A and B are shown apart, each in its own frame.
Chain A
């Protein structure tokens, strides 16, 4: 077993060697510009791009013409949300999203709010999912877009997107989903989900960084977007800029592999994830799973280890790469807003660890992580005043804390 162990596959994934192999010729020999229409170099690049487009479309049950390549999911989310807000301004100015969305969605909505768009941020229930009745109740005749993620990047919780899609259709409202964490990991079909716009990313599915895609429905309804990057009119005019041919080829190969291997790989990862979960629960008391276990990505686990602070926990398992919702590990020095939204209390957000298993995770690694974590949690609890107080029967929630 090689150390350090990588168990942070929600953050990013390594490029699969088969993906890299497919990409390499397009840096050197096959370097053509896919927009060069009158020579073999251009045709070769264009053909590779179109094949990749087909692979991406196949993975999500779309047609190739509905796939727009971008620089990544952040751009896809920006293009989808801003593009709809601008294009459908005549129709309405209300967007519905959710508090646990990725910042690429939340901050895009915040920006639009400054420009006069009205945004409703739906809360989530204790399990991390939105309440569909609440969604129905906040819709108005000015609502133009619902944007709700498929799977959350921290807690792996799957939103009821088929039901959301149905509600959106009934009301004639467009539905966008940031499906970065879900596509290639769990079955995803644009027809079943009745979704109109879908963001996805290369580097979350063993493809390269710096490439992503946006699915834009062409029929029932035909979705129009106001372009956010103007120029030569590439990608049906929705996203100008010379195509990143090696990146796109890599994304295409990555989606083809995910399509072929998702079913078996998903089951394998679910087995490993459940093993991790069960062993941790056997070894340690007072550990809490954040978010629904039933509606969850098979390779995700997010657990709070009560009375222990997340960053100190990470420090004790420094040969294991995972991430924490603790304030100390975030750039903003705030604990995870996703975990706070679950209503479990900030203290549990500070004590949380996110595990993301992936293509190269082994049983041996899972067992190592369990042993290591168990030792460190026990050690840190021995030096935790909160653990001591809890054992003495003091109700920590009722304490008057001296904040600073």
Chain B
């Protein structure tokens, strides 16, 4: 199977590989996929609480070249977007940008799931902080 030039570029020069501190209140973490399925993506966003804009995004992916490229591209697109704009990213946008063949569409679905999971995690953290009585931090621990 031949890979598109963009997939190869993201595979060889992945953007934003790494990790953000997952306990930071402004960081949302999404971990999707499963090792026995052959792909796991961890995608993280760091949101500026003042503006609601994603300042930073990082990923780590266990998976094929297309999975790596999909998550790398996702982090590139996330930076500078508001949380709501980020939620509007569709897997079909990733398919189109990377010219993924039909057998690799699930990689793009996984990337969309990872974005949604990261933002859901961020929102959950925010709500828990807001909902918690002042000085009652011990009640705001996210359930694992």
Q: Does A115 contact B (CB under 8 A)?
A: no
Q: Which residues of B contact A316 (CB under 8 A)?
A: 11
Cβ contact within 8 Å between B68 and A401: no
Cβ contact within 8 Å between B113 and A385: no
Q: Which residues of A contact B32 (CB under 8 A)?
A: 402, 404
Contacting chain A: which of B39-47, B82-90, B92-100, B130-138?
B39-47
Cβ contact within 8 Å between A384 and B61: yes
Cα(A316)–Cα(B17), bound, Å: 17
Cβ contact within 8 Å between A347 and B60: no
Q: C-beta contact mask, B10-53 vs A, less than 8 Å → 1, else 0?
A: 01001001010000000000011111111111100000000000
Cβ contact within 8 Å between B35 and A350: yes
Cα(A326)–Cα(B37), bound, Å: 9
Cβ contact within 8 Å between A404 and B17: no
Find A315's partner among B14, B34, B65 (CB 8 Å cutoff): B65
Q: Closest Cβ of chain B: how far from A334's Cβ, in Å?
A: 10
Q: Does B106 contact A (CB under 8 A)?
A: yes
Cβ contact within 8 Å between A327 and B38: yes
Q: Closest Cβ of chain A: how far from B118's Cβ, in Å?
A: 12
Contact flag A388-B38 (CB < 8 Å), given A311-B65, A383-B17, A402-B31: no
Q: Which residues of A contact B42 (CB under 8 A)?
A: 385, 388
Cβ contact within 8 Å between A309 and B33: no
Cα(A347)–Cα(B106), bound, Å: 18
Contact flag A402-B36 (CB < 8 Å), given A309-B64, A312-B64, A384-B60: no
Q: C-beta contact mask, A350-394 vs B, less than 8 Å → 1, else 0?
A: 100000000000000000000000000000001111111000000
Q: C-beta contact mask, A313-330 vs B, less than 8 Å → 1, else 0?
A: 001100000000011100
Q: Which residues of B contact A307 (CB under 8 A)?
A: 62
Q: C-beta contact mask, B68-84 vs A, less than 8 Å → 1, else 0?
A: 10000000000000000
Cβ contact within 8 Å between B64 and A326: yes
Q: Which residues of B contact A326 (CB under 8 A)?
A: 38, 64
Show 27 residue pairs from A and B whose CB-CB distance is below 8 angstroms, ordered by the A residue.
A309-B39, A311-B64, A312-B11, A312-B64, A312-B68, A328-B64, A333-B103, A346-B35, A347-B36, A347-B38, A350-B36, A383-B60, A383-B61, A384-B60, A385-B31, A385-B40, A385-B42, A385-B60, A386-B62, A388-B60, A401-B34, A401-B40, A402-B31, A403-B34, A404-B32, A404-B37, A404-B113
